[in-house]
Chain A
Amino acid sequence: MSQKKIEDIANKEYEYGWKTDIEMDISPKGLNEDIVRLISKKKKEPEWLLDFRLKAYRYWLTLEEPTWSKVNYPKIDFQDIHYWAAPKKKVTLDSLDDVDPELKRTFEKLGIPIVEQKRLANVAVDAIFDSVSVATTYQKKLLEHGVVFCPLSEALENYPELVKQYLGSVVPHTDNYYAALNAAVFTEGSFVYIPKDTVCPMELSTYFRINTEGAGQFERTLIVCEDNSKVSYLEGCTAPAFDTNQLHAAVVELVALEKADIKYSTVQNWYAGTPETGAGGIYNFVTKRGKCIGKGSKISWTQVETGSAITWKYPSCVLIGDESIGEFYSVALTNNFQEADTGSKMIHIGKNTKSTIVSKGISAGKSANTYRGLVQINKSAKGAENFTQCDSMLIGSKCSANTYPYIDVRNSSSTVGHEAATVKVSEEQIHYFEQRGIPAEEALGSIVNGFCKDVFDVLPTEFAVEANQLMELKLENTVG
């Protein structure tokens, strides 16, 4: 045994790297106004939405791809992507019995049964396959409580006013390069509406599956939580192992009205590319933002990011309502050739607003893991408080970790606390476990889980165990 022990890093073979063979309706590669119109037409969208898309597309044309992040990747050829890919067989969303058995099997295999019993009995699932939703469970039961949980395209049919009111209200198409792109070509996503004085009776969850080679996935999720209401939502994702990198550029918008409470959790396990070179992994460029509009409202982001070749993502909170609360809890694990540049933005506008950022970055192999965060406390945000903790863990000696915490405080009655630590897993620690009979891999898993505890503790219990196991899988063969 030697220094190599911890450095000998190879990913466990990616479990979800298979592809479903199913007849698909795929748009030709390339991006232009006709493609934007085609998507809008396929989805039978109202005129205003086509205008929304075209405006975004024309704006996007004026932008340059951003280069400020720490991630390195070859220039993306936006003309080499399919912007529409959907199973040919028409999906009727009326009954789960009508879902194509092949798609049912696909999600079953992913551990996401599209049936209303079984393992995830208290979780309603929207299953999205490339560009379309193939099924949403428990919709009727949720509607009995006034809760709307459906694909965005269905919401456009049934609740056009709500969608029109809020779509783009948190992340406008002018926000950034990928947000503009998404606004032009988004195909599917989930819509959640929780009426006043309602605690959503189930966990809501969307599972995103990319299946078509060369297709991008551009989903858009919108969650609106009215006064005194509460919802917990989880997003999960996987993709087959292809040779070419694939683009995933999502937008998530959360709106919390008075005393509303939204908890948004992500377990991201997109294909990371081959362990040897990183080829074929997903490029994950995501804009996630929540607006705490109402007084005393709360938005909490929890993310466990383990996949993708590149992750570029900063779930943020705009704290407008007085006494509103923003939280960000993150575990980002990079291994082999993965790169992650992730963190959060907390924008304090209302009085006595509070925010907490807890970020745990774990780097193994030759990966690079960057925390980038902004805490901005405006003049109006009297008595605002922020606490930030960003810790890094290094496994082996070929990886890197960086933190860029930006703090901008514009009044004197606010407090900002910042803690940061970098720890290295030592061979001596691993040996200590081994000497007590615990194999090296379990030892590393245990050390990493200890490091992530603050974040795992706030994950919905249904998923905490899975997150734990996922981390262990991802680190398999990291030692030994």
Chain B
Amino acid sequence: MLDIKNLKAKLDEEDKQILNGINLKIGKGEVHAIMGPNGSGKSTLSKIISGAPGYEPTEGEVLLNGKNLLDMTADERAKEGVFLAFQYPVEIPGVNNGSFLRMAYNAKQKYQGNKELDPLEFEALLEEKLKLLNMDPSFLERSVNHGFSGGEKKRNEILQMLVLDPQVVILDETDSGLDIDALRDVAEAVNHFKNEDKAVIIITHYQRLLNYIKPDFVHVISKGSLIKSGSKDLALELEEKGYDWLVEPVKA
């Protein structure tokens, strides 16, 4: 479903290469975990896929069902079904969270030639999703992420995911900074969401999220390269031994 081919990338403003040719195939219904030390390029990979400003792909392609995402605008990628739960969701003061959700939902509906929903219809659609995440409807009245706690921001990301029902989701350290209850809510929501038609990429440092959402594959990225892939047992091994044993031989 998602096919990352020899992807190289750098920052807009610097020549320093951050991704050095990543190859990764993610099939329908699969869950992939991506792990690796801080600063190894995990977020950069997700931002290149989402089309974030400041990052520039220099080689390779990212195919979603055969279409190269890198040729599309960021909003087209989203409407084609790519969803990124940001590691650090940005605050947007003055923009109502509920309206934002509906705007996003309707943008996709329109793109797909489906009916757009009015505020009442949309409220009905939200109700069950809020419940699933144990979120109070008062969240919708606030500005997008504005003054939200770290945990609230992450729940809000997952709420957006449920509303937009994307094909490919990338969760960039969605588990970082979550307490136990929030972690469970988020994990349950992701499990509820995923099915044989979805692909899920989980970027994480910890086994605890992977205890809830079982990955089919685990990859390790270091210094912009994918250095190891394995089964879910690799994550357990990493939890125990850290990354050094993998990274050291590269240095040697």
B74 within 8 A of A: yes
Interface residues on A, range: 20 to 34
Taking a contact as CB atoms under 8 Å apart, the answer to whether A435 and B73 are in contact is no
Q: Is the CB of A437 within 8 A of B12?
A: no
Measured CB to CB, the residues of B under 8 A from A are 12-13, 50-54, 56, 73-75, 77-79, 83-84, 86, 89-90, 92-96, 99-100, 103-104, 107-108, 111, 143-144, 160, 164
Q: Per-residue CB proximity of A421-451 to B under 8 Å, as 1/0?
A: 0010011111111111111101000110111
Question: Which of A1-9, A136-144, A247-255 is found at the contact surface with chain B?
Answer: A1-9
Given contacts A431-B74, A435-B52, A438-B104, 6 further A-B contacts (CB under 8 A): A3-B13, A5-B53, A427-B53, A428-B90, A440-B75, A451-B94
Interface majority SS (helix, strand, loop, mixed), chain A: helix
Nearest neighbor of A428 in chain B, beta-carbon distance: B90
Residues of B contacting A1 in the complex (Cβ-Cβ under 8 angstroms): 51-54, 74
Could you pull out 16 A-B pairs where Cβ atoms are within 8 angstroms? A1-B53, A1-B54, A2-B56, A3-B13, A426-B90, A429-B92, A432-B86, A433-B75, A434-B75, A435-B77, A435-B83, A437-B107, A438-B103, A446-B99, A450-B93, A450-B95
Neighbouring B residues of A440 by C-beta, 8 Å: 74-75
A446 CA to B104 CA in the complex, in Å? 12
Q: CB distance A437 to B143 under 8 Å?
A: no
B103 engages A442 (CB within 8 Å): yes
- Nearest 4 CB-CB pairs, A to B? A450-B94, A434-B74, A436-B104, A437-B78
- Type the 1/0 row for A42-84, where 1 means its CB is closer than 8 Å to any CB of B: 0000000000000000000000000000000000000000000
Does A164 count as interface, using CB distance less than 8 angstroms? no
A453 to B83, CA, bound (A): 29
A5 to B108, CA, bound (A): 23
Which of B53, B79, B108, B144 sits near A428, CB closer than 8 Å?
A: B53
Tell me which residues across on chain A come within 8 A of B143, comparing CB atoms. Answer: 450
Q: In the complex, which of the residues A5, A427, A435 contacts B78, with contact meaning CB atoms closer than 8 Å?
A: A435
| 0 or 1 for each of A398-432: is its CB under 8 Å from B? (1 = yes) | 00000000000000000000000001001111111
> Given the known A-B contacts A432-B86, A432-B89, A435-B50, are A447 and B12 also in contact in the complex, defined by CB atoms under 8 Å?
no
Judge whether A434 and B51 touch: CB under 8 Å: yes
CB distance from A423 to the nearest CB of B (A): 7
With a cutoff of 8 Å between Cβ atoms, the chain A residues found around residue B53 in the complex are: 1-3, 5, 427-428, 430-431
Are B75's CB and A439's CB within 8 A? yes
B50 contacts A447, C-beta separation under 8 Å: no
Whether the pair A446, B95 counts as a contact (CB closer than 8 A) is: yes
CB of A393, distance to nearest CB on chain B (Å): 9
- Shortest C-beta distance, A436 to chain B (Å), equals 4
Chain B nearest Cβ from A116, distance in angstroms:
33
Among A432, A437, A439, A442, point to the contact of B92 (Cβ < 8 A): A432
A149 and B144 CA atoms in complex are apart in Å by 45
Rounded to whole angstroms, the CA-CA distance of A442 and B111 in the bound complex is 15
Distance between Cα atoms of A90 and B92 in the complex (Å) = 55
> A453 — nearest CB in chain B belongs to which residue?
B94
Closest B residue to A451 by CB, please name it.
B94
Q: Which single residue of chain A is at the shortest CB-CB distance from B81?
A: A437
Per the bound structure, the CA–CA distance linking A65 and B160 in Å amounts to 57
A442 CA / B78 CA spacing, docked (Å): 15
Do A434 and B73 touch (CB < 8 A)? yes
Contact A447 B75, beta carbon cutoff 8 Å: no
> Which of A431, A447, A453 is within 8 Å of B52, CB to CB?
A431
Say yes or no: B90 contacts A446, CB within 8 Å. no
A450 to B79, alpha carbons, bound, how many Å? 24
Interface contact B95-A447, CB-CB below 8 Å: yes
What is the distance, in angstroms, from A331's C-beta to the closest C-beta of chain B?
Answer: 13
Query: B73, A439: Cβ atoms under 8 Å?
Result: yes
> Once the chains bind, are B12 and A2 in contact (CB under 8 Å)?
yes
Interface hub of A2, A429, A434 (most chain B Cβ within 10 A): A434
The interface residues of chain B lying within 8 Å CB-to-CB of A451 are 93-94
* B89–A437 touching, CB < 8 Å: no
Residue from A426, A429, A435 within 8 A of B84 (CB atoms)? A435
Q: Say yes or no: A437 contacts B104, CB within 8 Å.
A: yes
Closest to A427 in B: B53
